[in-house]
Amino acid sequence: MILDLSDDAVLHELWTVQRLAYAVEAEIIGFDGIPALHETPEELKASSETFLGLYDEEGLAGAVSYELEGSTVDICRLVVHPRAHRRGIATKLLDALPDGPQTVSTGSRNEPALRLYRGRGFVETGEREVAPGVSITDLARDSPRRD
């Protein structure tokens, strides 16, 4: 389901899930300078990304955002509420993305995310340092794996 960030309730729910999810990643990678962790609701609302969300009985369970660069789907964010971890939410969100080549980046020390992406057919294409001692791994896949 496409999330309408002009709806203040949807925006606040997404912003809350994003902060919770990136706080978990910050702890895993030992770095709290993740830009989305410090983003304001207004900055999130101004994003040019398309957001897809997945709800459960308690509200927004997770979201993925992307931008199209030609035919390539550039995955910008993939966030899952901590209460919904290990329930397949991230996989369902990845599977909901448009067809075509896909790219994504995650913290190089974020093993849970790296396992998820590798398990969905992504391969590592590079690594770059974004702060002293903090690296990001870039991944890509030619086409989505749906199973």
Write the pLDDT tens digit of every residue in 85-123. Answer: 999 999 999 999 999 999 999 999 999 999 999 999 999
User: Looking at the predicted structure, is the pLDDT value of residue 56 above 60?
Assistant: yes
Q: Please compute Rg for the chain using Cα positions.
A: 14
Average pLDDT over residues 39-54: 97
Residue 146 confidence (pLDDT): 57
Question: Within 10 A of 6 (CB to CB), how many other CB atoms are there?
Answer: 8
How does the average pLDDT of the chain come out, rounded? 94
pLDDT at res. 147? 56
- The two three-digit tokens of residue 45, written as one number: 């609302």
β-pairing verdict for 59-69 and 123-131: unpaired
Average pLDDT over every residue of 130-142? 93
> 8-141: which CATH number, 3.30.1280.10, 3.40.630.30, 3.30.200.20, 3.40.50.1100?
3.40.630.30
DSSP 68-99: EETTEEEEEEEEE-GGGTTSSHHHHHHHTSPS
Tell me the pLDDT band of 42, cut-offs 50, 70 and 90.
Answer: very high
Tell me, what's the pLDDT at 143?
A: 74
pLDDT at 145: 57
Alpha carbon distances (Å) from 15 to 18, 35, 39, 122, 135: 5, 13, 8, 27, 24
DSSP H or E segment with residue 112: helix 111-119
Closest residue by Cα to residue 11 from 54, 57, 43, 55: 43
- What share of the chain in percent tops pLDDT 90? 92
The size of the chain, in residues, is 147
Mean pLDDT of 135-141: 96
The CA distance from 66 to 105, in Å, is: 12
Q: Which two tokens stand for residue 139?
A: 């991944």
